[in-house]
Amino acid sequence: MKYFIIVLIVSINVTCGLLLSADDLESKWDSFKVTWGPNSFDPEYFVKQPRTIAEAKQNNYQQISDQCEGNFLGQRFMKLNDYGAILIYDNQGTIAGVQMGIPVSMITDKFYQYFTQKMFNRDTIAGVYLYILTAYFVDPRTICQSGRNPSHLNHDGTGTGLWLQNGSNPIRDSIEMPLYDNTVSNTKWAKGACLPTMGYHYWYDNRLDKSCDEFFPAFLLYNKNKLAGFGWIVIGKFEFTKRTEFPPITALTSLQEPFPICIKKRFEEAGGVTAMHHFFNNQTWNILC
Ligand SMILES: *[C@@H]1O[C@H](CO)[C@@H](O)[C@H](O)[C@H]1NC(C)=O
Ligand SMILES: *[C@@H]1O[C@H](CO)[C@@H](O)[C@H](O)[C@H]1NC(C)=O
C-alpha cells in the first residue's frame, strides 16, 4: 500500500515537475519541514516549521531559552512542550538550527552507548531531563554575532550549510557537512539508497562490521547533487512526539548499503529505531532520485 502511494505521488510529481523549469527543480532552501511520511498531503508529514521568531510566536511556539551561552547557541522555541522538534533562531530572530530531545528516562544504555556518543548533549527542558541532538544551518560563530535579517533569509534560504554539534561546545565541536555530493568523497560519509520524496541517504562511516554502539545518530540527504535535508536516527523506539518516524527493518536494510550486521539483532532487542527526516525544500514531491 505504501509503495503504491509512493508510486502514485511520484507520478503526480513528475507531471507537476514537467511544468517547472530546471532551476525550480534544484534544491532551493526555501522552506523547513520535518517528518517524512508516505503521503505528502497528510498534515502530520512534511510539517512546515516557522523560519522566524515572529512566525513562531504567531503559531504558538514558546521560547525556552534566550541566552547565547552554555551548551547551545541561539534562542530556542518549541510548540506545546514538544521537545522532539526544538527550533533555534539567531539574535535577529532568523532560523539557525534545530534540535531533537529524547527523555533520558526512556533510554537504556543496554542497546546503545548514549553516554559516549559525542552527538548527544544533555539539557532539562520544561522539567524533563533530555538527551539532545543539535544541527545548525549557518556557521555557528555567526548565530550570536551577526545573525541574519529577513533579506538574508530570502536570499540564502533556510541556511547556508549544515553543522552538526558533535560535542558540548557548539563553536569548537560543530562539524560542517558537505554541501554538494561531489565533496562527500573526501569524508567518511557513504552513499546509501535514494527514495522519492526523501533523496539519497548518506551514512557516516558505514561498513558491514560497524559497531552498533558507534552507530552515528544522523544521516544526510542529497537531491540533485546538493544537500537537501538530513535526519536523526537513534536505536530504540521512543514514543513521545508526533514528529518521529519508526521505519521497519526492511526500510533500513534497503536504504543503507552495506547494512551493518549488528543492527538487525539490535533493532529486535531495542524494539526498533526512532528517526526524523528534515527537509530544506518546499517541493519535497520533486525529490525524484
Ligand atoms: C564526532 O566526534 C567523534 C569523537 O571525537 C569522532 O570520532 C567522530 O568522527 C565525529 N563525527 C563526525 C561526523 O565527524
Ligand atoms: C510551498 O508549496 C505550497 C504548495 O504548493 C505553495 O502554496 C507555497 O507557496 C510554497 N511556498 C514556497 C516558499 O515556495
15-24 pLDDT, tens digit each: 444 444 444 5
Ligand 2 mean position to 168 CA, how many Å?
37
Please give the pLDDT value at position 40.
86
pLDDT at 217 over 60: yes
pLDDT at 133 over 70: yes
Q: Distance (Å, rounded) from C-alpha 72 to C-alpha 61?
A: 19
Q: Whose CA is nearest to atom 7 of ligand 1?
A: 118
Please give the pLDDT value at position 178.
98
Cis preceding-peptide flag for 258 (omega within 30 of 0)? yes
In angstroms, what is the C-alpha Rg of the chain?
18
Query: Residue 27: what residue type?
Result: S
Ligand 1 mean position to 94 CA, how many Å?
28
**Domain extents for the chain?**
2-286
Q: Which residues pair with 10 in a beta bridge?
A: none
Q: Distance (Å, rounded) from C-alpha 178 to C-alpha 184?
A: 6
Atom of ligand 2 nearest to the CA of 31: 13
Nearest CA-CA partner of 287 in 20, 35, 26, 60: 26
Q: Whose CA is nearest to atom 6 of ligand 2?
A: 282
Nearest CA-CA partner of 287 in 208, 209, 234, 222: 222
Decide if 29 contacts 280 (C-beta within 8 A).
yes
Q: Distance (Å, rounded) from C-alpha 208 to C-alpha 217?
A: 17
Please give the pLDDT value at position 20.
46
Ligand 1 mean position to 166 CA, how many Å?
6
Ligand 1 mean position to 119 CA, how many Å?
8
| Three-state DSSP state, 179 | coil
Q: Whose CA is nearest to atom 12 of ligand 2?
A: 282
3-state DSSP of 1-42 = CHHHHHHHHHHHHHHHHHCCCHHHHCCCCCCCEECCCCCCCC
Decide if 100 contacts 84 (C-beta within 8 A).
yes
- Measuring from each residue's beta carbon to the nearest atom of ligand 2, which residues come in under 6 Å? 30-31, 282
CB-count burial class (<10 Å; 0-12, 13-18, 19+) for 115 = exposed
- Give the count of alpha carbons within 13 A of 229, CB side only: 28
Q: Distance (Å, rounded) from C-alpha 163 to C-alpha 151?
A: 22
Q: Whose CA is nearest to atom 1 of ligand 1?
A: 166
pLDDT band for position 68 (cuts 50, 70, 90): confident
**pTM of full prediction above 0.85:** yes
| Three-state DSSP state, 241 | coil
Q: What is the pLDDT averaged over residues 205-213?
A: 93
Decide if 240 contacts 102 (C-beta within 8 A).
yes
Ligand 2 mean position to 31 CA, how many Å?
9
Mutate to test the pocket of ligand 1, among 117, 175, 203 (most ligand atoms within 8 A of CB): 175
Ligand 1 mean position to 116 CA, how many Å?
11
Query: Residue 174: what residue type?
Result: S
Looking at the CA of 190, name the nearest ligand. Answer: 1
Mean pLDDT (the chain, rounded): 91
Mutate to test the pocket of ligand 2, among 282, 283, 284 (most ligand atoms within 8 A of CB): 282
Q: Whose CA is nearest to atom 13 of ligand 2?
A: 30
pLDDT band for position 4 (cuts 50, 70, 90): very low
Residue 223: CB partners within 8 Å, gap ≥ 6? 27, 199, 200, 229, 281, 286, 287
Residue 262: CB partners within 8 Å, gap ≥ 6? 210, 211, 212
Q: What is the pLDDT averaged over residues 225-252?
A: 97
